[in-house]
Each structure stands twice: as C-alpha cells, then as structure tokens.
Structure 1
Amino acid sequence: MTTSFDQLTSWLKERKITEVECLICDLTGIARGKISPTSKFIVEQGMRLPESVLLQTVTGDSVEPDIYYRLLDPADIDMFCRPDPSAVFLVPWAIEPTAQVIHDTYDKQGNPIELSPRNILKKVLKLYADRGWQPIVAPEMEFYLTKRCEDPDLPFQAPIGRSGRQETGRQSFSIDAANEFDPLFEDMYDWCEAQGLDLDTLIHEEGTAQMEINFRHGDALHLADQILVFKRTMREAALKHNVAATFMAKPMTGEPGSAMHLHQSVMDQDGRNIFSNPDGSMSELFLQHVGGLQKYIPELLPLFAPNVNSFRRFQPGTSAPVNVEWGEENRTVGLRVPESDPQNRRVENRLPGADANPYLAIAASLLCGYIGMVEGLEPSPPVKGRSHERRNLRLPLSLHAALERMESCRDLEAYLSPRFIAGYIAVKRAEQENYNRIISSWEREFLMLSV
C-alpha cells in the first residue's frame, strides 16, 4: 500500500502501468470516472468530473430539476477529484498493465463534496476518532452466479458447472457444489491476491449457485474500498467463464436474498475492545451501541436497502431478518451477537443487502451505533428463539415508506448534512418513479385476459 503520491508514482512505474482507471463511487455504488494514460495521471495528480455525476440514478438519469438546481450549481460545474494513494489496486483482467485508483472529491475551495459516499464514511469515522475510538468491521458478501442472459424479461437461471449439470436444490455449505465453479474462483482468488484484497473464506450459501465471500476484519474505509473493487473483480471473473455474477438483493423468485452482513466492534487507543468490561462481560457502551442500531436503522434503512428489489428480501417467510431485534447466536434477528472471547465481542448487522453502497452501508451502521453510545440509548431485551413473528421493531415495508421515514428524521441532520440526505432521497425517488413506469411480466400474465 502506498501512502503518498510520490510512492504511488514509484509503484506505477515499477509495475510498468500504462493506464490508470480514476474512480469515484456514486450514490448508487457504481464506479464512475476516467481512464487516463499513466503519464498524464502523474502530471495532473487527479481529474475533474461534473458534480452532477453524484446525483445520477442507477439508470443514468438525473433527479427532478428543482432538486437538481437546489443541490448543485446551475452551471453544472466540475468537482476536483484527488487520488488516495492508499486506495490503489491492480486491474488483473486488463490486457494492458492497468491500475485503478479511488479518488476523493472536493469543491474548488478544497471542501469535501457532501454528496460523496466516501466522504460520508470519512465523516462518520472522524466522529469516532474525535473520541479516541476506532471502529473495526468485517463484511460478508453474498451473491449469485447465473447463466448469461440477454433478455431482462426472462428469469435468472443457475449456471452449468464443471460436471455439465445445472445446480438444483439447496446446497448450503456444500464443498462439492462450490467446487463446480473452481476455475472461476481460482481466477477470482488470484486476482484478489494481486490486488491485496483481504479475503477470508468462500462459502456456498443456501440459494442455488449462491455464494458468500468473507473479508477479514479491519479498517472501515479500506474495507469499503475493497468491496467496491471486489464487486468489479467478481463480475469480471464470472464473465471470463461465460457466467454472470449478481449482487442484487433478491435476484430469483423462491430463492433466498443476498446480504452484506457487517460485523462491527470498536477499539480504544490502547487497542482494547470497548464492547467488553475488564471481567469479560458486555459493557454499557456495547449495549448502547446496540440500542443505537435498533433506534436508527429503521430511519436510515434506504442506505441498507437502496432499491425497489431490496425490499423483496425482507418478505415474511424468508431467511432474511425483518426487524431490528437482537440476540446472542441468533440468526433470525437483525442484530446478531456472535459467540466470541471478550476482545472480539462484536455485533453483526444482518440487514444490509448485497446491493447496498458499501461506503454508505458501513457509514450508516457505524453512525447508528455511535449515536447510541453518545446518547446513552438502551436496547430492548435480547431475543431467544425465533424472532420473525415479533412486530415491535419491524422495518418499513417498501422503499417509498423507508424514504419518507428517512426524510422525516430530523435527528440525522446533526450527523449527516441536509444536502446529502436530500440528494440521496431524490436519487432513490427518481429510481422508484422510473421503476413504476415499467409494466411487469406478472401484470401481463395475470391481468391481460382477466380484468
């Protein structure tokens, strides 16, 4: 890892990198930017992009004009993007020696752009740093492998593995089922190793050709960068082997959804876990952290479930949590406390979908816990046994309802800028309206000749 632009320059030259992909992450989690010759990148030390890039929807459309001109300069000015030397990764699948460098965004006065997801995460991390705390996170990414399909009207199908057969049925934790795609995962692991990604284990999840990759615990910002890079890497590895990889929250009818589970803990300046007392018991700060997650996750749910499709994952009867109850070693709750020794005590937020923007999901999860600790919020009693039927701490049931709830929560404005909140909600409402214009296959099948 490089720590200065001079070290980054030396790193690029030593590896004979000829092109640099200059990236930022927009609100939807899409990597946007420019591809630059290395010589130009070294001279310019950054790039300029229209600030409107950060208000694009997942379809590439913009938000309503009145909101657009309220949040952005009407002249559609540029923002200044500066490379983070600690966020440089190879592009192993490229034909020419190529690197990807994640950039931070600033206005012409040098102020961080408030609409930038990476800046939002850095803002939350500063709240922790100002109190002498360092959050530690460990993400778990679920995703599906599917057959390549050019027609979006057709349902996804499981791909054909090495045996020549299509996977069927539930294959949770099956080694043989995962090995069906050995050549693909060998490339994926080789590429991730070349990029320095902190991958841990590969698991075959419950769904048909559904997989999970776990990351080792570490710095929140660095792991958010890694998730952005990993998603690109996984899609490229799949394409090389003539299949597709999708991080949609609910890509297949009748199959489990895909999550981005976030394990989180907090260390003090001496490296001690503040979630545990000296005698090893749960600390008051830990319980308050859980209390903050319980109170504010429903207010920030669009940052964990950002798309219309995200809410299909929360349907009753699915394996996904549908509330913010908590409990020890309980996978039916939204907030699971895994069994561990006191130094590794943590809470697992099981609510974010795999489709969530990693910067925003991590920022929101840490922010909820932070507010709980500084405001002294107490959690509900822990749940023993199944929690799906409990309705006291249920979540909003649709993107529309979740956005309304986020918009009405004034407590968040003290921590997240009103401009970010307004911009994010505007983007997601524009996507909802775009979705509402599409006639689904269900409507054609059941209404065409029946009503």
Structure 2
Amino acid sequence: MSTKLDQLTSWLKERKITEVECLISDLTGIARGKISPTNKFLDEGGMRLPESVLLQTVTGDYVEDDIYYDLLDEADIDMFCRPDAGAVFVVPWALEPTAMVIHDTFDKQGNPIELSPRNILKKVLKLYADKGWQPIVAPEMEFYLTKRVADPDFPLEAPIGRSGRPETGRQSFSIDAANEFDPLFEDMYDWCELQGLDLDTLIHEEGPAQMEINFRHGEALHLADQILVFKRTMREAALKHDVAATFMAKPITDEPGSAMHIHQSVVDIKTGKNIFSNPDGTMSELFLHHIGGLQKYIPELLPLFAPNVNSFRRFLPDTSAPVNVEWGEENRTVGLRVPEAGPQNRRVENRLAGADANPYLVLAATLLCGYMGMVEQVRPSAPVKGRGYERRNLRLPVTIESALERMEACKDAEKYLGDKFIRGYVAVKRAEHENFKRVISSWEREFLLLSV
C-alpha cells in the first residue's frame, strides 16, 4: 500500500498538482466526493464519506427509512475511501493543476463496502480470476450533442454546427456531419489523451448530432474508470463550446436512443488464449454457455443495463434498438451480436445496455451473466438468421417496475452480488420511480387538459 501511495505522491508532484478531486461512483453513476488541497490529500491518504452517499437517488433523495436503516448504520457513519494509484487522471479543464483520483470504499474493519459499484465489479472479476480467466471488454458509448436549454419542459434540439445550421435528416457515419463539431472534438481528444483514456474511433450515429466513441479493448475495471472520466470530459468539452452532451438513453422523441455496446471475451490467464475458441478455431462450449448465460440472466438483471424510466423508451417497437436477448452472427437486429473475427478475437457484443448505465455495474452485470452461463452450462437458443426485432420468445421486461421485481426475485444473482446490494439498488431505483410518477408530463397537458 505504501509503495502505491509513494507512486501516487510522485505522480502528483511531477505534474505540480495543487488540488485533488477525490471521488467515488454512487449507484446511479454520479461522481461524488471531496475536493482537497494536494498536501492535505497526501497527509490523510484518502477521505471519509457518509455511507449514505451510496443510497442517494439521481435527484439526491434517499430511500424509505425502513430500508435505509436496515441497510445502513442508524448513526449515519462514515466509510473509509482509499485512493487507487492506478485510477488517477488529470483534469484538463480546471483553472489550476488538478487531478481526479478514484477511490475504493471500506468499513472501519477494512471490509469492502457492499453497496459500492466499483467493489461489485471487483467481486465479479474475482469470480473469473478464481477460474484462471480474465474478461476483456471494449465499450462503445453513444451520446447526443444538443443546444443548451435551461427549461426541462422544452424538447431538446440539435445544436448549430460550423456551417451555422442544425443537422437534419439521417447522417449515419457521415464524416461531414461529424466535422461540424471539429473544434469540440479536437478538445475532447486532446483532453482524453492527457488523461490516458484508450479512445479509438469517433462515429456519427443515426440521430441528429448523435455520436459514438469506441474504446480500445482492455481490462474491465480500468475501462469502467475510463468511462466515468470520459462522461465528465465529454460534458465539459461540450460546455466549453456552448452546447450540451447527454448520455440519456432516449433524450429526443422519435429519434434513436443511445446505447453502451459492450464487446466481451475471456482469456486464459496462463496461456493468454481466448477461451471462446477451440484449438481448431471453432466456437467453444464455453462461448455458447456464455451466450446462454447472457440470454438467461440479462432479463433478470435488466435494471443494471437500463437503470432509469427513460432507459425503457429505447426498447419500444420501431426504435432501432434490440428488444430481446436473441443472438446471431453479424446481426445487429438482435441483443447479442457475434461479430466476424478470428479465433483469438472471438467475442460477443451486448447491445442492450443504455448509455445511462453505471459503467461499473453494467460491466459487472454483463460479465456475471456470462459467468453464470459458463458455470451452469446454459445452452443458448438457436442463432437468429435475418431480422430479429420481432422475435418474442426472449423479450425483455417492458417497464422498470416489472424489471425491478424480477431483479429482486433473482436468487442466483443475489448469491454473487449479495442481498444488501440487490436490496439497496432496487430501493434506490424504486425511490427514483416514485419521484418520477409525481411529475405531470407535457403529453398529459397536451392531450388531457381540455379533452377529458
């Protein structure tokens, strides 16, 4: 531990860092923590935060008292947050030399906090390590650029690009449409390079000013950290150029939603070989079982992939998003796509997660589903040939209420993720949904105000 802190101290001093943003991810994916002068940060070697931070909703509210005090100490005690020397990033947009340091959370006995998203991912990765395996993931993040708007009752609109006009029509993979925001993306790429983020390609997606950033494949915990940092970076770059960046799953009516596609494979730690392929290059039984696990358990853990009421708008018919857990080779109309690749690069692309998902929890969930499939030797369905949108046998829950009920009842997942986490996560999402139901929508005002 002292060696890692020495490395962190050297890193901060070499860059003349004067402030440190000490942060953790809550269940919704919001970065929470403290900003500390570097000297104080190094003296204390971490921070303390109320453990109640991990039961906050996206609105900053808390779950009901009976659940709150059942899961947390009544005295609202602190948890101990220790910096991870491998999760340190500069903050390029700050006015003075600043770093953000992602922390792990522990109780006073040194036990990992069960409600921590980062600890949940670590728990799932240990399951793989105990088998001699290491997951490899490559996330793809979709998002929209929009005009900045102060009133949430106003619909979002495409921003004005360099041409002086907002985008119209469908511009999938258009280079010119992406170039409309060149100055913004130049800043984004420069900042991400300074932070050491493993970005790959930039793609213009189907919606107006909808973009996709692909990450290079790598280790899951490191990439979850990078996604957390990238979301902050992308929003800051957008604000610098007087637009907004949103990772909402469905921000604009009648436009495509934004997903977080996750490519995942597994290698043998000793040999480095992809366990999804047989020596002759064909699909291995473990690969098919991994897909079978995704099919069986994603519907049970869907709130980790689709965490908000808005997330489920991506799954409506005719939204261009997959609405089932069917699988197929080179097939983008199903939830689980197997891209064309050589034996060492064989993988499955989970296309179901929303861009609004907590990166730690969604990676933990997709890897856990595949792990359970391999351990239980779950057989997948037959692969889909042709269009898969209309397949109804393996459809997903259609509301967040029904999805939360299924997650709460999934004892198989509880065995691995823990009762406390399942209950806490479900409670937070139910509290958010109760808050949502109190808001009167513009649809109700438009069609009911003077008609009923």
Q: Which of the five TM-score ranges fits, normalised by the shorter chain?
A: over 0.9
Structure 2 distance, partners of 1:4, 1:267, is 27
The AA in structure 1 aligned to 2:449 is M
Q: Which residue of 2 aligns with 1:375?
A: 376
Q: CA deviation at 1:412?
A: 1.3
Aligned pairs (5 A) from 1:97-246 = 97-246=97-246
Q: Deviations over 1:176-235 (max 9, x none)?
A: 000000000000000000000000000000001000000000000000000000000000
Pair 1:130–1:391, CA change in 2 (3 A): same
Structure 1 distance, partners of 2:363, 2:390, is 27
Structure 2 distance, partners of 1:305, 1:5, is 37
Structure 2 distance, partners of 1:255, 1:18, is 44
Structure 2 distance, partners of 1:219, 1:27, is 21
The AA in structure 2 aligned to 1:301 is L
Q: Which residue of 2 aligns with 1:358?
A: 359
Structure 2 distance, partners of 1:3, 1:296, is 40
Q: Is the 1:323–1:333 contact (alpha carbons within 8 Å) kept by the matching residues of 2?
A: yes
**What SS does the aligned partner of 1:254 have?**
coil
Q: Deviations over 1:300-359 (max 9, x none)?
A: 000000000000000011110000000000000000000000000000000000000000
Aligned pairs (5 A) from 1:3-402 = 4-269=4-269, 270-402=271-403
Q: CA deviation at 1:271?
A: 0.5
Q: CA deviation at 1:414?
A: 1.2
Structure 1 distance, partners of 2:320, 2:240, is 31
TM-score (normalizing by structure 1): 0.99
Q: Deviations over 1:377-398 (max 9, x none)?
A: 0000000001111110000001
Q: Deviations over 1:394-429 (max 9, x none)?
A: 000010010001111111121111000000000000
Structure 2 distance, partners of 1:149, 1:356, is 23
Which stretches of structure 1, 4 residues or more, deviate above 6 A after TM superposition? none
Structure 2 distance, partners of 1:145, 1:166, is 11
Structure 1 distance, partners of 2:315, 2:3, is 41
Q: CA deviation at 1:4?
A: 1.1
**What SS does the aligned partner of 1:88 have?**
strand
Q: CA deviation at 1:3?
A: 7.5
**What SS does the aligned partner of 1:34 have?**
strand
**What SS does the aligned partner of 1:324 have?**
coil
Which stretches in structure 1 are left out of the alignment for 5+ residues? none
Structure 1 distance, partners of 2:432, 2:319, is 25
Q: Is the 1:3–1:85 contact (alpha carbons within 8 Å) kept by the matching residues of 2?
A: no
The AA in structure 1 aligned to 2:108 is K
The AA in structure 2 aligned to 1:54 is L
Q: CA deviation at 1:149?
A: 0.2
Structure 2 distance, partners of 1:31, 1:126, is 24
Structure 2 distance, partners of 1:393, 1:307, is 21
Quote the sequence identity (%). 84
Q: Which residue of 2 aligns with 1:432?
A: 433
Structure 1 distance, partners of 2:324, 2:221, is 27
Q: Is the 1:81–1:104 contact (alpha carbons within 8 Å) kept by the matching residues of 2?
A: yes
The AA in structure 1 aligned to 2:428 is V
Structure 1 distance, partners of 2:28, 2:230, is 16
The AA in structure 2 aligned to 1:146 is T
**What SS does the aligned partner of 1:10 have?**
helix
Pair 1:229–1:3, CA change in 2 (3 A): farther
Which stretches in structure 2 are left out of the alignment for 5+ residues? none
Structure 2 distance, partners of 1:5, 1:322, is 46
Q: Deviations over 1:41-88 (max 9, x none)?
A: 001000000000000000000000000000000000000000000000
Q: Is the 1:143–1:247 contact (alpha carbons within 8 Å) kept by the matching residues of 2?
A: yes
The AA in structure 2 aligned to 1:430 is A
Structure 2 distance, partners of 1:289, 1:410, is 19
Q: Is the 1:3–1:86 contact (alpha carbons within 8 Å) kept by the matching residues of 2?
A: no
C-alpha RMSD over aligned residues: 0.8
Structure 2 distance, partners of 1:414, 1:399, is 22
